[in-house]
Structure 1
């Protein structure tokens, strides 16, 4: 496994992973827009195959995990944890004091991972995400990096 910086040319592969992993995926165009000066995009590879990615936006000392996604066929093998640990280290190395994220309330696997790595729930956005049959809450979480080990 290796984690490397991604470029805008990786947006089609990222969009494929999104479409496989999420019921309401980001478009290729939206992903391609995440390669500006405020963003860092990392990809997790096995051999030369992109298995997952993370997008972080950082403004001064606040970093936001904009998206993290692993191919469903590669989930449950610790790859999301590996990628998230790299995101945390990278945010610290870039001077972030906090790493924030939001996650669907129904995504218990992701919430469990975030909690195991020290994230805490700080709020909710009621009815934020669309679902097949309505809407669900976004759980807001953060990790204080200025005190993280």
Structure 2
């Protein structure tokens, strides 16, 4: 597995990549971004990369930089490849790119029920700084769930 992580290839996301990334977005989220939203988060204050292994795209991240703060807007790994370290590799890439761009502090939010993502973020040095009560529509379609806001100083 470690060998495949070493062979992971990152490339900047361009508008032409949205079509092939939307199936990953749709597979990872109960309420995914639309193509229009995804496309609007490419370029400008946004930075993003996809991760591939042997020509297969496994996942991506989208970040936003405003002044010296970067926010992880979206991060996805194909469900069949989750739990293999690719999410950590993408998060590490996000942190590295945000640092290169001059970020001093990182932010993200995560569904309260997404324990595996929370553990990844905690293990990467993020701490909970707040909650947005009832922020996300629930995956079941009934009710809402909290968003946990997390941050990390660089």
Output the TM-score relative to the length of structure 1.
0.95
Q: Which structure 1 residue ranges, 5 or more long, are not aligned?
A: none
SS class of match (1:56): strand
Spell out structure 1 runs of 4+ moving beyond 3 A: none
Match of 2:64 in 1: 57
> Structure 2: any 5+ residue segments left out of the alignment?
1-7
| Aligned mate of 1:136, from 145, 149, 154 | 145
CA positional deviation for 1:49: 1.5
Work out whether 1:33 is the aligned partner of 2:40: yes
* TM-score normalised by the chain length of structure 2: 0.92
Cα distance between partner residues in 2 of 1:115 and 1:65: 14
Q: What is the aligned length?
A: 145
Paired residue for 2:107?
100
1:46-125 equivalences in 2 (<5 Å): 46-125=53-132
Q: Which residue of the partner structure matches residue 4 of structure 2?
A: none
Q: Displacement of 1:47 after TM fit?
A: 1.4
Question: What is the RMSD of the two structures over their aligned residues, measured on CA atoms?
Answer: 0.8
